[in-house]
Amino acid sequence: MLRAYDIIKKKRDGEVLSKEEIIFFVSGFVEGTIPDYQMSAFCMAIYFQGMNEEEILNLSLAMRDSGEVIDLSEIKGVKVDKHSTGGVGDTTTLICAPLAAACGVPVAKMTGRGLGHTGGTVDKLESIPGFSTELSKKEFIAQVNKIGISIMAQSQELVPADKKLYALRDVTATIDSLPLIASSIMSKKLASGADAIVLDVKFGNGSFTKELHQAEKLAEIMVKIGSQSGKKIAAFLTSMEQPLGNYIGNALEVKEAIKILRGEEKESDLRKVAVELAACMVFLGRKAETIEEAKKVALHALDSGKGLEKLAELIKAQKGNPKVIEDLSLLPAANLVETVHASATGYIQSIPAQTIGYISLLLGAGRSKKEDSIDLSVGVILKKRVGEKVEKGEPLAELYAHDHSKLNLCRKQLEEAFCIAAEPLPSIPLIQSAIGV
């Protein structure tokens, strides 16, 4: 007879757990027969002792099977999903998903809301007037078959083990455990029903995995879980030392995504990463023979305006106002705007992504707790990037707010976030490496 106490002790002592023991613990926690304090002890044992690849796979599958597993077999073609491990100014989904769909790849994406300093795709989409992310499974599948793309909020029935477990990890200092991060992400991806998955694994200041070697290990673990579960899967390792995009905040990020799909902002880091992710989606979706050909196909969809047209289709299909594509003033706008200027002449050496994310959070663009309400219009626009030269008095960034007290609180923090020095530092590659492509 299995007992929670024995399983906790076994993992505490560094032993390997069987599939049956892991299923017993996860199902017991979801059903309420294993209390929070025992799951907390279990998570802490995993945090310190780790898990081998087989254990992480079994934990991911047990969490996947704790709720509904979506069947997307009614959708024709190779369904491709994309997931980011979280970042600041990371609006790649709003660019790469329409681009991939415009290339003929069925994109059936379930996504979440933002928490802490990282943004969420659902919140960004809901800043588009009228846009609804609450779809039934029938509507979701029908829309992908009709226009090739749908993005909906994750249902409550999807991986309930992760929802319960994440809330507990958040208050027990066990968030940054690779086995727990990997199983959290992959349980949701496996339950979402896609045939292929593209992962954007962040490293650096604004990510959960600060060091490159941690991100590489996480990516390798998740790729193996996907492969062992019969999915085509690839992962990119991308830098989050500074915000990926120049616009941070929900409506502001939608604005930047639309500008990029319009053909503007051609040199932006956000555009570069989004195109690489779209190309991988095209390749895994079998719409190109090689990754090089897939990139050409994705760039053509961008340059021809097909990606922008697909975003407009998505907005219209989900009850949003497609006129935002032409008129960005239809998006929510803050009534207070303040420019922060450079205090010295020199080169931008750093713009810590996490700091910018927290400034956006303080302005009201994010949540400290899942139930918090957010202001869709506020945030930050960066006017300079790391490595660029700046003159004293030149604009560094703009703050967008509704509240003078919040504006005053964030102004000094934003000024201090920019590190200016006499000489530029060597640049860090934006995309460090890729696994599976």
Domain boundaries, the chain: 4-50, 80-157+173-327, 333-421
Instruction: Using the structure block, give the residue that is written with the tokens 């299923």.
Output: 23
The whole model's pTM is what?
Answer: 0.94
Q: What pLDDT does 210 receive?
A: 87
* CATH code of the domain made up of 4-50: 1.20.970.10
User: Which of helix, strand or coil describes residue 60?
Assistant: helix
Cα separations in angstroms, 25 against 46, 138, 173? 13, 33, 20
Catalytically active residues are 83, 162, 169, 184, 188
Q: What pLDDT does 369 receive?
A: 66
Helical packing angle, 53-64 and 19-31, nearest 10°: 30
Contact (CB, 8 A) for 243 and 353: yes
Q: What pLDDT does 125 receive?
A: 96
Instruction: Using the structure block, give the residue that is written with the tokens 């530092």.
Output: 425
Q: How far apart are CA 44 and CA 352, in angstroms?
A: 29
Hey, which residues does 232 pair with through a beta bridge? 196
* Fold that domain 333-421 belongs to in CATH: Aldehyde Oxidoreductase; domain 3 (3.90.1170)
Q: What pLDDT does 365 receive?
A: 83
- Which residues are CB-contacts of 389 (< 8 A; sequence separation ≥ 6)? 346, 347, 424
> At residue 111, what are phi and psi to the nearest 5 degrees?
-140, 170
Handedness of CA 392, 398, 404, 406 (dihedral sign): negative
Residue type, 188: K
Q: What pLDDT does 116 receive?
A: 57
Q: What pLDDT does 117 receive?
A: 57
Tens-digit pLDDT string for the chain (437 aa): 999 999 999 999 999 999 999 999 999 999 999 999 999 999 999 999 999 999 999 999 999 999 999 999 999 999 999 999 888 999 999 999 999 999 999 999 988 776 555 668 989 999 999 999 999 999 999 999 999 999 998 888 899 999 899 888 878 989 889 999 999 999 999 999 999 999 999 999 988 788 999 999 999 999 999 999 999 999 999 999 999 999 999 999 999 999 999 999 999 999 999 999 999 999 999 999 999 999 999 999 999 999 999 999 999 999 999 999 999 999 999 999 999 999 999 999 999 999 999 999 999 887 766 667 788 999 999 999 999 999 999 999 999 999 898 899 899 999 999 999 999 888 889 999 999 88
Q: What pLDDT does 120 receive?
A: 82
Going by CATH, does the domain composed of 80-157+173-327 fall within 3.40.1030.10?
yes
Cα separations in angstroms, 219 against 163, 215, 243? 22, 6, 20
Q: How far apart are CA 363 and CA 40, in angstroms?
A: 33
The beta strands (E) that lie in 310-402 are given as 336-341, 346-350, 379-382, 389-390, 395-401
